[in-house]
Structure 1
Amino acid sequence: MMVMVIVVVIVVVIVNLLMVVMMVMVMVVLVSMVVVLVKKVLMVVVLVVVMFSGYFLATKL
């Protein structure tokens, strides 16, 4: 009887650990995707700012 309980506890702990690992993996993937998106958005913003400043300078000069 005790052996069964021990086995069940071990299985539950292993499953919980796997769940935690999966969650961490998903979080890492999401964070990396967000970082890539932010980098792309920043690139676009910088390009737009450069274009606008260049246009502004050209019209002023």
Structure 2
Amino acid sequence: MFGCRGYTTVVVVVVVVVVVIVVVVVVVVVVVVVVVVVVVVEVVVAAVAVVVVVVVVVVVAVAVVHIQDLFVEFLWGDKPVSP
């Protein structure tokens, strides 16, 4: 009987240690996955922001050039300015 209690204690300790290790590994994996997802989302958001800024700058530049052309046509008509 005494020997069985010792083995039971060892088995219980081993099971508890294994369960704790599994829980720690699962928590670490979940944290790593969450961090990777957050980093990927931040990179995608930054890339989209850069694209939006570039598109806005190009659209504004084209609009400014077009408005300047319209203004020149309004002032001088279709004739080129003579020196």
| Fold shared per TM-score above 0.5 | yes
The within-5 A match list for 1:2-17 is: 2-17=12-27
Alignment of 1:28-39 (within 5 A): 28-39=38-49
Equivalence for 2:60: 50
Corresponding letter in the other structure for 1:32: E
Q: Percent identity?
A: 41
Q: TM-score, normalised by structure 2?
A: 0.67
CA-atom RMSD in angstroms = 1.0
**Is there any run of 5+ residues in structure 1 with no aligned partner, and where?**
none
Unaligned runs of 5+ in 2: 1-10, 72-83
Please report how far the alpha carbon of residue 17 of structure 1 lies from its aligned counterpart in structure 2 after TM superposition. Answer: 0.2
Consecutive aligned runs of 4 or more in structure 1 exceeding 4 Å deviation:
none
Could you state the TM-score of these two structures normalised by the residue count of structure 1?
0.88
Task: Name the structure where helix makes up a greater proportion of residues.
Answer: 1
Q: What is aligned with 1:60? A: 70
Query: Which protein is bigger by CA-based radius of gyration?
Result: 2
Cα deviation, residue 13, structure 1 = 0.5
